[in-house]
Structure 1
Amino acid sequence: MKKILIIGVGAGDPRQVTIEAVEALNRVDVFFVLEKGAIKQDMVALRLEILRRYIKDRPYRVVEAPSPPRERAPANYLASVDALNRDKQAAFARMIAAELADGQCGGILAWGDPALYDSTIRNVEAIAAAGKALDYEVIPGISSIQILAARHRITLNRIGQSVEITTGRLLTEGWPDHADSVVVMLDGEETYNRFADQAIEIFWGAYLGTPDEILIAGRLEDVAADINRARRHAREAHGWIMDTYLMRRVRP
């Protein structure tokens, strides 16, 4: 039986790797990485720094494969995600079959927490369900949402109120019903701009947990242009951007 550990390693700062995750890292014989090309090589470098810093007196290998390409403007979003995950499952299954011996332990490092907007658990579950004699465990990590709240020194919810975690794509359909606060992830379209004419405050962060971290907060009507400008400059500098934000209505 082969074993896979899906290890949440936080949003980028090696200091935010938990003790449980460190213990898990030191059980792994082979780490599997789907790399996304030269633009995101700094993310691969962060993974390697985590391994270098925390694995002690244990040999290990890192096996990389290209991450399958993703359709950027699909006609059917859910179908395109299913197709992408099938391709990732096939890539991981090939690496596990070729590089991990029976009785060995493999590791997949998941950014943030693997339970939150990450498909690693689903993909490994599908490989195991296909009869590959594979067992797996999940080790939680610190998410970008937790870092966002800590950096802005806020709570995610107000007393007695709800908070909804959603995506930019879903936010285009409007403010979620009954949600007092909204945390938005995976927003490539700057959807917050749709609400700039309303009495809303925003707490925004990009590259959270990394040396390139950017933070902006205030009434949305006052800071939306600043966020737009910061996103544009950051994308030009790095070739990519990953941001998260919380919005909530300003109380009278």
Structure 2
Amino acid sequence: MTEITLTLIGIGTGNPDHLTLQAIREINAADLILIPKKGSAKADLAELRHAICTQVLTTPGTRIAEFDMPRRDKSNPDYRQNVEDWHDAVAISWKETIHNHLPQGGKIALLVWGDPALYDSTLRIATRLLPRAQIRSVPGIMSLNMLAAAHTIALNDIGAPFLVTTGRQLREYGWLPGVDTLVVMLDGDCSFQHIASEGVTIYWGAYVGMPEQILLSGPLAQIGPRILTARAEARADHGWIMDIYLLRRDTNHG
């Protein structure tokens, strides 16, 4: 592969209003913008990225290229090996697309949902392009910031910590001691069903910051079943869903 600079640009939840000025500058500095295709069910994710480019891209020579996003094989019980194999396949797809559209090298931008630094694989995949690729990262508004803003809550209690974790971690290890606030991401199984609900408040959001935004909050015992229904209906309507939630224990409970 020829010399390239790959800039990973956080775009938040896909709302162009939430792009930073730095993100807009980097989009316009690119020779090639890569947009992942994730199948027909998630076609609007690619369309949102195209819409962002239409709105903010003013450099006439910048090209836009879609690439097929490989699907992760979940048949192997070794979770980490599954992820490593998937990352290898994604990196190959990037290399092929870059070679086809920018064989002489140059500046490539990849629009990353949320922020490249938080529960996103893009930075790890990008290292597979080394040593010929210089990797840069531009931060975006994180979904946990959007969730807190949408519900007009603070992420932490006064002087208290909070933990950002995944649904799989919550299912396997439960609510870890020493913290009363959890922010849970990447949870396709609604893992809040596996914890004791008494004295717990949930703040849930799907498509946060987008026109399709759905917000529900309240005591987990009451709101949990409503979230299950709303999530299933939204996924059926759109073919995909991105959601996040915050769980907070009542420190006075018990």
> Aligning the two structures, in what range does the TM-score lie when normalised by the shorter sequence?
over 0.9
**Could you tell me which amino acid in structure 2 is paired with residue 230 of structure 1?**
A
Gaps of 5+ in 1: none
Residue number in structure 2 paired with 1:213: 213
Q: Of residues 97, 100, 104 in structure 1, which corresponds to 2:99? A: 97
Counterpart Cα distance in 2 of 1:220 and 1:73 = 33
Is 1:78 matched up with 2:80?
yes
Q: Describe the shift of the 1:196–1:213 C-alpha distance in structure 2 as closer, same or farther (beyond 3 A).
A: farther
1:12 Cα deviation (Å)?
1.7
Matched, 1:198 2:235: no
Percent identity over the alignment?
37
Return the offset for 1:42. Answer: 0.6
CA distance in 2 between counterparts of 1:79 and 1:165 reads: 23
Q: Is the 8 A contact 2:14 2:52 kept in 1?
A: no
Contact preservation (8 Å) 1:196, 1:224 = no
Q: Could you tell me which amino acid in structure 2 is paired with residue 19 of structure 1?
A: L
Which position in structure 2 is the counterpart of 1:119?
121
AA paired with 2:236?
A: E
Task: Give every structure 1 segment of 4 or more consecutive aligned residues whose post-TM-superposition deviation is greater than 6 Å.
Answer: none
Distance apart, 1:33 and its partner CA: 2.1
Could you tell me which residue of structure 1 aligns to residue 247 of structure 2? 247
Name the CA distance, whole Å, in 1 between partners of 2:100 and 2:219: 53
How far did residue 138 of structure 1 move?
0.7
Report the Cα offset of residue 37 of structure 1.
Answer: 0.8
Counterpart AA for 1:158 = D
Counterpart position of 2:227: 227
SS in structure 2 of the partner of residue 26 of structure 1: helix
User: Take 2:31 and 2:10, find their aligned partners in 1: how far apart are those partners?
Assistant: 17
What's the TM-score once normalised by structure 1's chain length? 0.94
CA distance in 1, matches of 2:209, 2:233: 19
Once residues 95 and 158 of structure 1 are traced to their aligned partners in structure 2, the CA distance between those partners, rounded to angstroms, is 46
Larger displacement relative to structure 2 (11-20 or 99-108): 99-108
Q: Is the 8 A contact 1:2 1:101 kept in 2?
A: no
The residue identity in structure 2 corresponding to 1:66 is D
Question: What is residue 184 of structure 2 aligned with on the other side?
Answer: 184
**Cα distance in 2 for residues equivalent to 1:218 and 1:90:** 45
Aligned counterparts of 2:196 and 2:219: Cα–Cα separation in 1: 9
Contact kept, 8 Å, 2:12 with 2:142, in 1: the verdict is: yes
Residue of structure 1 equivalent to 2:151: 152
Return 5+ residue gaps in structure 2 as ranges. Answer: none
CA contact (8 A) 2:35 2:110 kept: yes
1:74, 1:150 → 2: CA distance? 39
3-state SS of paired residue (2:29): coil
Q: What is the alpha-carbon distance in structure 2 between the residues aligned to residue 215 and residue 72 of structure 1?
A: 30
* SS state at 2:84 partner: helix
**1:34 is matched with which residue?**
36
Question: Which of 51, 58, 61 is matched with 1:59 structurally?
Answer: 61
Q: Cα deviations across residues 149-168 of structure 1 (Å, max 9, x unaligned)?
A: 00000111111111111100
Which moves more between the two structures, 171-180 or 96-105?
96-105
In structure 2, the CA distance between the partners of 1:108 and 1:34, relative to structure 1 (3 Å rule), is: same
Aligned-partner SS, 1:161: coil
Q: Which amino acid aligns with 2:185?
A: M
Partners of 1:31 and 1:107 within 8 A in 2: yes
**How many Å separate the matches in 2 of 1:3 and 1:241?**
31
User: How far has the Cα of 1:101 moved from its partner?
Assistant: 4.0
Which residue in 1 is equivalent to 2:168? 169
Hey, what does 1:138 align to over in structure 2? 137
Count residues with an aligned counterpart. 249
TM-score (norm: length of structure 2):
0.94
**Residue 52 (structure 2) aligned to one of 50, 53, 58:** 50
Offset, 1:57: 4.0
- Aligned amino acid, residue 19 of structure 2: V
Task: Tell me the C-alpha RMSD between the 2 structures.
Answer: 1.4
Change (3 A) 1:75 1:122: same
